[in-house]
Amino acid sequence: MKCLLVLLLLLTVAPAWAQPPPSSYGPAVTVEVSRVHCLVRFVETLAGSSGTHAGSRRVFEQSRFNTPTAQRWIRHYQALDHEPSFDREGYPAGRIGAKGTIGPSYLAASADARDLPDLLRRTVGLLPNEVLVSLDSVYRYFEPAFDTLAWQPHAAELGRLQTAYAGYLKERQVMRPFGLLRAFYGSVWPDALPYRILLNPQLVPGKDFTNKASVSGNVVLLNCYPASRDFVGGSTIMLHEMCHSLSTQQRLALQQQLEGWYLHNASPNRRYAYNLMEEGLATAAGEWIYAQQTGQPETGEWYHDDYIDRYAHALYPLVAGYTERGQTIDSAFVKQALGQFDALFPQAATDYVNLFRNVLYWTDAENFSAAVRPFRDRFNSTFTGTSTPILHSAGALAMVKEGSYLPVILITREHAATLKYLRQQLPALHPYRLRPEQSFLLSTTGPDGPIVLVNTHNPAELVAAAELLKQHGHMNAKEPLVRLN
């Protein structure tokens, strides 16, 4: 009896970080402004890193600071291995939780750092010292541009925005419905683990609070217009991104079940619906929180992408119902979601907008970011794989043959050897006469699924190829091979 009483006592005294009861106010949240963090984000923006604001990059490009020397520093930054990644064993390859990086720790350190020497001290061990010192040099070079274009014009207003937005989140109890979504996603995110919203100024004029946000670990990277107070609409975008963090922290067993429920379904679009699940659910979930604030979801477009927008509208009643019942996503939800997808998108298998959802950019270009940017500027991707070089790259070849990604292969040099290697490895290329001296775009389908191959001899042809894909819209089985010169 004594042992039983001890056991009962242990069961009733839960640790402070355990999953909260239904009456929870949701995870804690802070709103912060950090000069060092904004400088780090400024450099990421100049380099065109994922999740940064293109308008802010253009402000720099049109300024007196955009010199040949500055461009060399940007290329140096892009070449640094400053965010190495690793695979998490057992996690489904198509989910954002399958890969980890040092990014969350580095960005959190940048938010806490008093100055650049302090950032260096806080990040020792995350990266080799050679990389950390190189990053420090890059930040110091761009510091005058950052101060002139970003910090000095906006720092005071960012401080006022920080106070106003923290007050809004507390007064409206925005994190309470977000906590209910945690149950829908089946995620492990204790209340005591705070979301840290880091404000970063967008450098072009605008009225909206934000149109660009992302989440790295528990750090919410919020690009904002400092003078705006449109918190309701802007928070929908931010909370959408925070839902991705709930998806990342979904219990491993549930992630594995979800993959099976989708990919073992008989639907011909099961892979595409699974690829769209992440954005579709986050969009519908963000709108559900918006409706808790205003009484109804937004009218009109929810997401600037036809597939995601239409799919999210179709999923909204399902997400709302499950969340309000405290029910976690299950096989019945997936079955209904697949039925909605099949009805909405009968041409999904040939539509470039859909195919680019999961994309593998495989290239031999010296400047990787510049090579893939024309495609990234024209097609949104939920998951992006990258690999270089092309020749004898077993890892990239395995990803192509696995069939989960659309391979976009960009050849910029060693044309003859590269085409010979690819023809040997990829049966989809066998029917075509591919001449290395010609510039061409090939878009076809083989045993492992669709494939895009671009053979170019100058950067302008990469832009031309991306624009052709955008103009065509769908794969054309009657004319798969197009000359670029």
Check the CA dihedral 252-258-263-264 and report its sign. Answer: positive
Decide which of 211, 231, 246 is a domain's last residue: 246
Q: Which of 346, 362, 382 is at the close of a domain?
A: 346
Within a domain: 6: no
Asked whether residue 21 is domain-assigned, the answer is no
Pair (154, 286) in one structural domain: no
Do residue 172 and residue 83 come from a single domain? yes
Together in a domain, 275 and 291 = yes
Helix (H) / strand (E) containing 368: helix 368-378
pLDDT at position 296: 94
69 and 174 both lie in a single domain: yes
Kindly report the number of other CB atoms within 10 A of residue 81's CB atom: 10
How many separate domains does the chain show?
A: 3
Residue with tokens 């302090």: 118
> Can you list the residues of the chain whose pLDDT is less than 70?
1-24
Report the SS3 class of residue 3: helix
Within a domain: 44: yes
**Does residue 162 sit within a domain?**
yes
Is-contact 274 259, C-beta < 8 A?
A: yes
pLDDT of residue 7: 36
Asked whether residue 213 falls in the same domain as residue 97, the answer is yes
Does residue 56 share a domain with residue 127?
A: yes
- Give the separation between CA 169 and CA 114, rounded to whole angstroms: 26
CA distances to 91, 277, 340 from 258, rounded to whole Å, are 11, 10, 17
- Which residue in 162, 113, 159 sits closest to 139, CA to CA? 113
Does 5 fall in a domain?
Answer: no
**Which pLDDT score is estimated for 317?**
97
Examine the domain organization and report whether 193 and 54 are in the same domain. yes
Which of residues 285, 315, 346 is at a domain's end?
A: 346
| 113 and 89 fall within a common domain | yes
Q: Which of 28, 35, 17, 52 is nearest to 196 (CA)?
A: 28
Q: Which structural domain, as residue segments, surrounds residue 137?
A: 29-246
